[in-house]
């Protein structure tokens, strides 16, 4: 029950934010029967750029304090960029991009 509620909230959020940067990749992946390396590479570049611009400036502070800064809401920033719900089905407001793209995003965040 809780999971459906969370998906519903994400769905409402995504309905208001259909132009999220990652949505274009989800649409492209859904329109082809297989995801090729070019799409994954483009996605990786977009997430790397986001991580460099938004996450990296706070990395030292996060490492030193072992907590997230209060001056910026990184979770919200990731949501605004469209990185929440990468693997969630589209009918629940997710991007249905699959675990390959989820792993790419996680790898990029860990390297920043």
Q: Which domain holds residue 24?
A: 2-111
What local confidence, expressed as pLDDT, does residue 40 receive? Answer: 86
Q: What is the C-alpha separation between 105 and 8, in angstroms, rounded?
A: 23
Residues 6+ apart with CB under 8 A from 28: 39
Q: How many domains does the chain have?
A: 1
> What is the value of pTM for the model shown?
0.65
What local confidence, expressed as pLDDT, does residue 2 receive? Answer: 40
Burial of 22 (0-12, 13-18, 19+ CB in 10 A): buried
What local confidence, expressed as pLDDT, does residue 8 receive? Answer: 44
Q: What is the C-alpha separation between 21 and 107, in angstroms, rounded?
A: 18
Q: What is the C-alpha separation between 16 and 51, in angstroms, rounded?
A: 23
The CATH number that applies at residue 9 is 1.10.540.10
Tens of pLDDT along 48-71? 999 999 989 998 888 889 888 888
């Amino acid at each position: 029950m809780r999971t459906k509620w969370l998906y519903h909230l994400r769905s409402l959020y995504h309905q208001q934010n259909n132009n999220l940067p990652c949505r274009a990749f989800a649409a492209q992946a859904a329109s082809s029967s297989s995801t090729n390396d070019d799409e994954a590479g483009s996605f990786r570049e977009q997430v790397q750029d986001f991580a460099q611009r938004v996450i990296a400036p706070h990395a030292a502070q996060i490492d030193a304090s072992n907590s997230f800064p209060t001056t910026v809401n990184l979770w919200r920033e990731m949501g605004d960029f469209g990185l929440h719900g990468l693997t969630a089905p589209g009918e629940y407001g997710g991007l249905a991009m699959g675990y390959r793209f989820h792993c790419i995003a996680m790898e990029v965040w860990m390297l920043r």
